[in-house]
Amino acid sequence: GNSVTQMEGPVTLSEEAFLTINCTYTATGYPSLFWYVQYPGEGLQLLLKATKADDKGSNKGFEATYRKETTSFHLEKGSVQVSDSAVYFCALSTYGQNFVFGPGTRLSVLP
Amino acid sequence: DTAVSQTPKYLVTQMGNDKSIKCEQNLGHDTMYWYKQDSKKFLKIMFSYNNKELIINETVPNRFSPKSPDKAHLNLHINSLELGDSAVYFCASSPEWVSSYEQYFGPGTRLTVT
């Protein structure tokens, strides 16, 4: 079945540091890939998505590129802020199947 | 305007009670979902409805019964609550039952069973 693996957290960074959160997947067919963010006490919000190989999703300074050859969708940001502290979920979906979410990676950014 | 809303936001109850959580979306979406998030933030799909019809029912105790009176609403009723039911429950919706559409999440209902 489909699955998503994310790097385990928590990840703790200083403000303005570079962020990478690794995500790899296993899927049948051609999945769409997503990153969601969950701020404390809130629901999940879509951060970015990519629907085909080599697509790059970007939003709020975050980027991720759909790499079919390595089955990866790593999340990056060049300079994190305290306000980026949240839990980040990688997810995929394929036609007719439920979303599959990774376990989430908690990010803490210190001033 | 809230796209996906849930009520109540917090629910504290005793073991053995029956409770309901309501969800409404005003996005005109065809598909709605219920998820359970445990204390470690792990998300588990429970049910998926498309146009009021149940399409996915994961391995969930039959004490949990979803009901969709119309496309915009998906409620979750839980009978005989147990301690292990304590979690945050999220409702979500998406335009259609296809792969490239993202899901839109509600704010969650934190259920505490004592």
Q: Is B5 on the interface with A (CB under 8 A)?
A: no
Alpha-carbon torsion angle A13, A18, A24, A30, nearest 10: 130
Position B99 scores a pLDDT of 67
User: Can you give the pLDDT at residue B97?
Assistant: 77
Total CB pairs under 8 A between chain A and B: 55
At B1 the pLDDT is 63
Nearest to A46 by CA among B51, B79, B101: B101
Please name the residues between 43 and 62 in chain A that touch chain B, using a CB distance below 8 Å: 43-46, 49, 51
Pairing relationship of beta strands A56-59 and A105-110 according to DSSP bridges: unpaired
Residue B83's region, left for phi above 0, alpha for psi from -120 to 50, else beta, is alpha
pLDDT of B92 higher than 80 = yes
**Among A30-34, B10-14, B53-57, B102-106, the range of highest mean pLDDT:** B10-14
**What would the pLDDT profile of A57-94 be if each residue is shown by its tens digit?**
999 999 999 999 999 999 999 999 999 999 999 999 98
- DSSP string over B21-81: EEEEE-S--SEEEEEEE-TT--EEEEEEEETTEEEEE-S--TTEEEEEEETTEEEEEE-S-
Contacts of B108 in chain A (CB under 8 A): 42-43
Q: In this structure, which amino acid lies at residue A48?
A: L
Residue in chain B nearest A31 by alpha carbon: B99
pLDDT per position as a tens digit, B78-91: 999 999 999 999 99
Cis peptide preceding A10, ω within 30 of 0 = yes
Q: Å from B29 to nearest chain A CA?
A: 16
Q: Does A13 touch chain B (CB under 8 A)?
A: no
Q: Are strands A56-59 and A62-65 parallel, antiparallel or unpaired?
A: antiparallel
Token pair in block for residue B68: 């969709």
Q: Percentage of chain A surpassing pLDDT 70?
A: 100
Contact B82, B113 (CB under 8 A): yes
Q: Give the total residue count for chain A.
A: 111
CB atoms within 10 A of CB A38: 23
